[in-house]
Amino acid sequence: MEYKDLTEKEKIPALGLGTWHMGGGFRPDSSEDGKYLEAIDYAIGKGLTHLDTAELYGDGHAEELVGQVIKNFERKNLFITSKVSPVHLGYETILRSCEASRKRLGTDYIDLYLVHWPNPLASMKNAMAAFDKLVETGSVRFIGLSNFSAGQFAAAQKHARNKLVCDQVRYSLLDRRPEKELLDFCEKEKIILTAYSPLAEGRLAEMKIEALAQVAKKHGKTPVQVALRWLIDKPAVITIPKASSKEHIDEILGTLGWQLEKEDQERLDKA
């Protein structure tokens, strides 16, 4: 695994496994539990020890699936991210949501706990007070946000005593919005930018993009591996593709251990 600095003392795996749509969409769906349990178990066994989930995914069932698998692994070797839904951003509701997530995950602590989306109706002062409380009681190790702009992030940080260490946002070769402002902000403030939907929900694997194919050929890699490498070659960026077959997980792991050259980056940036 490759790591990035989460804080001065703590590292975060640069590549993780996403779990959206494992165990259902907005409602729980157990019909493919076997497939997802096998995929999560296989991924961790192969070293993808960073798992990204949320109370929203399958209305908690994705966390239950992760929980079933991680009881077979040593907890300290894993990095678990989960998220509180924007409708639960009251002080007490955050504490209850986190408790419920920990129960479903079968873990005493969540490594990184995020606000899933901003909610203009919620008080960030109260939300950040609850996040600080979760750190101080040991329920979570680190706190952060998701889908927040640089301005929203900076405003939220003013209410939190603990550093917000991560902003998780949509970022891929097909969606470059974070490059407008957020990427520079994260690099400057030493915040991890976690790129979600890094394969544009699978479209990057299906589309025939000439530049991607040529860079992949040059390195003896696949377009999927180049698309993910393009992200984690950026100093502040990590990523969490979702994959539910051994073949896809193996391909994703081939992102590690090599680097794009400057000319490859430029070519992909332009394309």
Q: Is 18 near ligand NAP (CB under 6 A)? A: yes
Identify which of residues 137 and 245 has a Cβ nearer to ligand NAP in the complex: 245
Which of 78, 202, 211, 267 touches ligand NAP by CB under 6 A? 202
Catalytic residue among 42, 57, 113, 196: 57
Q: Which residues contact 68 (CB under 8 A, 6 or more apart)?
A: 37, 106
Which of 153, 185, 196, 230 touches ligand NAP by CB under 6 A? 196
Strand-by-strand arrangement of the 110-115 sheet = 17-18, 50-52, 79-84, 110-115, 140-146, 164-170, 192-196, 237-239
Which of 6, 12, 15, 19 touches ligand NAP by CB under 6 A? 19
Does residue 91 carry a catalytic annotation?
Answer: no
* Total number of residues that touch ligand NAP (CB under 6 A): 26
Q: Is 111 near ligand NAP (CB under 6 A)? A: no
Identify which of residues 124 and 252 has a Cβ nearer to ligand NAP in the complex: 252
Q: Is 93 exposed, middle or buried (0-12, 13-18, 19+ CB in 10 A)?
A: middle
Q: Is 198 near ligand NAP (CB under 6 A)? A: yes
Tabulate helix, strand, coil % of the chain (nearest 5).
45, 20, 35
Q: Which stretch binds ligand NAP (CB under 6 A): 7-15, 93-101, 197-205, 258-266?
A: 197-205
* DSSP reduced 3-state for 184: helix
Q: Is 199 near ligand NAP (CB under 6 A)? A: yes
Which of 33, 175, 189, 201 touches ligand NAP by CB under 6 A? 201
- What is 99-152 written as a DSSP string? HHHHHHHT-S-EEEEEE-S--TTS-HHHHHHHHHHHHHTTSEEEEEEES--HHH
Q: Which of 24, 17, 28, 25 shows the shortest CA–CA distance to 52?
A: 17
Site for ligand NAP in 163-192 (CB under 6 A): 168
Buried-state track 133-151, b at ≥16 Cβ within 10 A, e below 16: bbbeeebbbbbbbbbbbbe
Q: Is 224 near ligand NAP (CB under 6 A)? A: yes
Distances in whole angstroms, Cα of residue 23 to Cα of each of 146, 148, 156: 21, 26, 31
Q: Is 153 near ligand NAP (CB under 6 A)? A: no
Number of residue whose CB is nearest ligand NAP? 18
Closest approach, Cβ 223 to ligand NAP, in A, equals 9
Closest approach, Cβ 264 to ligand NAP, in A, equals 19
Residue numbers annotated as active site: 57
Interacting residues toward ligand NAP by CB under 6 A: 18-20, 52, 116, 146-147, 168, 196-202, 205, 224, 240-245, 248, 251-252
